[in-house]
Structures are given as structure tokens and as C-alpha cells.
Amino acid sequence: MTTVRRRRNRYLSGRFAPVTEEVTAYDLPVTGRIPAHLDGRYLRNGPNPLGVEDPAAHIWTLGAGMVHGVRIRGGRAEWYRNRWVRSSGVADRLGEPRRGAPADERLDISPNVQVAGLAGRTFALIEGGIRPYELTYDLDTVGPCALGLTPQGYSANAHSLFDPHTRELHSLAFLYGSDDVQHIVMDETGTVRRTTTVRVPGNPYMHDFALTPHHVLLFDSPVVFSPAHLATGVPFTWDARRGARVGVVPRAGEGPVRWFDLSPGLVGHTLNAYEEGAGRIVVDVVRHGEGFDIRDIGSSRPTLDRWTIDLARGTVRETRIDERTQEFPRVNSRHLGRRYRYGYTAAVELYAAPGGPDDDRPEEGFSNALLKHDLERGTTEAHEFGRDGTVGEGVFVSGESPAAEDDGYVMAYVFDPDRSATDLVILAAQDFGGEPLARIHLPVRVPLGLHGNWVPDVRD
């Protein structure tokens, strides 16, 4: 008799595997030195399902959101916490009282994409018209909230951008099943000040956007909403008949959108954008090639690309910044929308031939390296964490009194195979390839996940 071994779903095992407990730990051990002036929380959100109905069909972007946080003050790591974001369904599953009443039970989904701070408050974010959830300082769930809510049902999306120059929070929000997107502008408390609605037929997936002092850039692509795929939990598909284009919208909301055609592809995430005088816009993006499938994101081999938009001529010049497969771009937020020199990404590693059913390396997604791009010199530097030291998104944090754009730190959760647990690693951005300044040793593994932020402390 022949025995057939079925390879397990790697998104439910190894580094992606969801954790099953909420943990609180104090006075975390540290190797190295945490910069003494850092005062705040490093937070990261990501999917962490409480249960999976069909393990064979599960992908890593599905599941209730879980926020992981480390509190830093005075050179010490005071605590680590991980908490599920308690939508009504999550609260019911945990046998707990619900936190507030959702506006629509059908869209009451635990946000699992991003976590951010604004005006002393903490928010877990997602997209598609699904409401954000507010969290306490200690990451407990308060309930669904109206951050960025408009009368049409749009709300703050996962990749909302805070402009430090104008103190405005911007979102480009879409709804599943709608041909409109909305540019939502909020003040620094989260109050909506104005909205602009843009018609984009076909309901494309607009996960991210870009901002300059005078423009909003939105990305139309062949990845579109598909009602036929709703049952899979990932309601998108690649429509080969549809092209790709970038839209330029006046930031003040006055004037029509201008569209510029592009090679077929999908913008995964934006690094940054800026203006070159009144006639040109430069936007740097992580671009996925033709045939993008969110179930297998590495197969489209995302690269770091630059588009130079000539408004007068009505053209776009597409160039490749770096050929390496990469995702999760971040920039010094003080340079958002302005000319800049440095960007940071996470390298993506592809395994063409899996090592067997017990090989817990992801087939695609994350690797062991962060990348620092010097866009002025056209060079890239890597920091590698060892063969099995898987690392997620790196977040740039400015130094105490920065004298240069890269005067600061890059923070990231890194799996330590020797401990079978995760470290919060702090790199000196100006010594990117050198030894980390500090490794904060968490007591547990943080599953590979999505996005996060450094949230400076503003409590009294």
C-alpha cells in the first residue's frame, strides 16, 4: 500500500502559525542598549485566527487581528503584550461581553492589517469599509469607532498617512462593490474636515496610495473585487482585460483626476512620493507583476520601482530601483511627500522546491534580511539576521535630535531560532549592517504578520 503524505499548510505552522494565548510579560531582558530617549510603544498588527474552517484553503492574510506591543521607557523594555482585537465575533468566540455595537454585523470584522496612534489614542485598522477598532494604551479593545467615517460609509483605511507638515491624516478608502473611492482628510484629532469622491469603475483593490504637497496619487490595477470569490475570504481576482494606471488628484479636492497608463501590475505598497517643481511627480512603489494572486504573493516577485509622471506631457517613465524581491517599504515619516534619500524594505525570499512536509520555511513572503536603499547614490545595503532569523516589516524611528535623514533607528520583530521566540531588534540606521543596538527578548514567538508603528508616548 502506498502512503501519501500531504504537505501541511505553512500558514498554519512554523513562523506563520497563530499563537493560542494572550501573554503579558514585564521587565523584558535586553542584549545591548536601548536608546535612553525612546519613550513609547512598538506595535504591530497581523492575522491570528482563533479557528480555521478549511485549513487547506487558509492563507496568511486571514484571521482575527492580534496586536503585539512592547513598551519602552528610560532604556528599559517595561512590558510585552499581545491581544486579539475583539470584534463581536471574536468576543463571542472567547466567551466575553461584546465591546460596543457594530454599525453592520456583516462587516464587523476584527481589523488585522495595521495599528496606529493618533492624539493619544490607539486604533486597529483594516479597509473596504470595515470600521476601525479603538484600543486602550494596554491594547485591550474599547470597541468599533468612527475614525474617518463619512456619510457614505467610508472610514479610515489601513494605510492612512499622517502629514507632519500640515498635521493632517489622509485616507484613500474604498468599499467592496462600489465604483467610488474617497479621499478623506482629517485633522490631527481624527475629525473629518473634507472628502473628495473619485469614480473608478470596476472596483479595483486600492490597498495603498501616495501623497505630495499638492496631489494625491491613486493606483488602479487589474486586481478587482469579485463577488464570486467572497466565499474564499479573499474577494479579489486578476482581470487580464484590465490595464493599470496611476491617477493624480488635486489634494485640495478641486479639479478632475488625471489618469496615466502603466504596465500591468499592482502596487503592493508605496515607499514615498514627491514633486519636482510644478510639472513632475516622482513616486516610488513596490510593484507586483502580472498575474498577482494574494494567496501566493511571492510568485509575482515584487520589486522596488520608480514612476516619474510628467504632467505637462501626459506621460509616465517607469524605471526599476532594485531588482531584488521585496515588500513592506517604509520611510522616515518626517519626509513623507517630500524629496528624500533613504527607504527601507523587507527582503522576500522564494523557495522553488520546498524541503518537505516538515520544512517550516515559508514558500514565499518573508526572509532574514532588511534592506536600506540610498536613492541618491543608487545603492542598497542589507542587514541579515542569520539563515533562520526571519524578519518582518522594519519601521524607521527618528533619533532624539536628528542631524540627517537617516539619523535614527529601524525596529522590527525578528524570530530567534535559538530561543524559538521573537526579539524586538533595534538597528542604528546609519550603521545598518552593523550589530544591533539592542535585542529585546520577548517570551513568545510573534507570528509573521502585517504592519505596525512606533507610537511615541503622549500620556500625562
Q: What is the 3-state secondary structure (H, E, C) of 394-454?
A: CEEEECCCCCCCCCEEEEEEEEECCCCEEEEEEEEHHHCCCCCCEEEECCCCCCCCCCEEE
- State the Cα–Cα distance between residues 130 and 114, nearest whole angstrom: 13
Q: What angle do CA 126, 129, 133 make, to 5 degrees?
A: 50
Q: In whole angstroms, what separates CA 217 from the centre of its chain?
A: 18
pLDDT tens by residue, 303-324 = 999 999 999 999 999 999 999 9
325: which 3 cell numbers? Answer: 524581491
295: which 3 cell numbers? Answer: 494567496
- State the Cα–Cα distance between residues 398 and 405, nearest whole angstrom: 8
Query: Which pTM does this prediction carry?
Result: 0.93
pLDDT tens by residue, 382-398 = 999 988 899 999 999 99
What's the one-letter identity of residue 449? G
85: which 3 cell numbers? Answer: 482585537
What's the one-letter identity of residue 156? A
Strands (E), 254-358: 258-262, 266-276, 280-288, 303-310, 315-322, 326-330, 342-347
**Residue whose entry in the numeric block shows the C-alpha cell 518573508:** 366
- State the Cα–Cα distance between residues 167 and 189, nearest whole angstrom: 9
190: which 3 cell numbers? Answer: 481624527
Q: Which residues pair with 287 in a beta bridge?
A: 267, 303
User: pLDDT truncated to tens, each residue of the chain (460 aa)?
Assistant: 333 344 567 788 888 899 999 999 999 999 999 999 999 999 999 999 998 888 887 888 889 999 999 999 999 999 999 999 999 999 999 999 999 888 777 788 999 999 999 999 999 999 988 999 999 999 999 999 999 999 999 999 999 999 999 999 999 999 988 999 999 999 999 999 999 999 999 999 999 999 999 999 999 999 988 877 666 667 788 888 999 999 999 999 878 899 999 999 999 899 999 999 889 999 999 999 887 766 665 567 899 999 999 999 999 999 999 999 999 999 999 999 999 999 999 998 754 434 444 455 444 468 899 999 999 999 999 999 988 899 999 999 999 999 999 999 999 999 999 999 999 999 999 999 999 999 999 999 999 999 999 999 975 4
Q: Please give the radius of gyration of the chain, using alpha carbons only, rounded to the nearest integer.
A: 21
Predicted pLDDT of residue 442: 98
| Count of CB atoms situated within 10 Å of the CB of 58 | 21
**Residue whose entry in the numeric block shows the C-alpha cell 533613504:** 342
